[in-house]
Amino acid sequence: HTSVSVPPTPRSLMLGLLALCHAAIPPAPSSSAAWMQRSHWIPHNDSERTARFMRLLPSLGLHCPKVGVSTFWYPSIGRRLRGAVALEPIAKHEEVCVVPLANMISFLSVQNSSFAPVLRMADKDVSQRGLWEAAAISLFILREGARDSSPHAAYIHASFSGHDPASIPKTLPPDSDAFRALKPSVQATARR
């Protein structure tokens, strides 16, 4: 399993949901499990999806007792985001989340999926490996989220569906007021 530890912090933002160990849902014995169905998640709002996901975590081997999900102000980009928050104080080196390694969405997940042939056909520039891997994971998440049934449906629909891409600095036009309002360091990162 993989553990994440953080330095002490008062009930504040701990990790973004992506940093919540990219906790993916493990394959189930049957693809008919309700939580694997897109229709199980789509009719519900963000709060209901999050509540369903948090109730499902223990049965899937994920243990995050001091982590919750909330909407909070993210000052460096000047926007409200939904993500993981500390529910209680966290001690230095304390284990925050335990996620079975096999349950994480990672580049290895993509390589072990039916998406693998696409990866082999792509021209990969070694200097751009990190960018390529991030793009492959993003495409994998989009594909899995669009399927009627996926072992990753719960994580994808509870974590990503409610996010407005306008909150991501890289999506803002450089000549927009929203981009100009960002801190210079965030602007520099978004231009990369």
The string of pLDDT tens digits covering residues 149-168 is: 888 888 888 877 666 666 67
What is the edge-to-edge ordering of all strands in the sheet holding 13-15? 13-15, 79-86, 67-74
Residue 65, token pair as written in the block = 């007792």
pLDDT at res. 42: 85
Most confident option among 26-30, 83-87, 116-120: 83-87
Cβ partners under 8 Å of residue 32, min gap 6: 149
Q: How confident is the model over 63-111, as pLDDT tens digits?
A: 888 988 887 888 877 777 778 889 999 999 998 988 887 677 888 888 8
Task: Say what percent of the chain tops pLDDT 70.
Answer: 75
CA dist 7 and 86 (Å) reads: 12
pLDDT at res. 88: 92
Task: Say what percent of the chain tops pLDDT 90.
Answer: 4
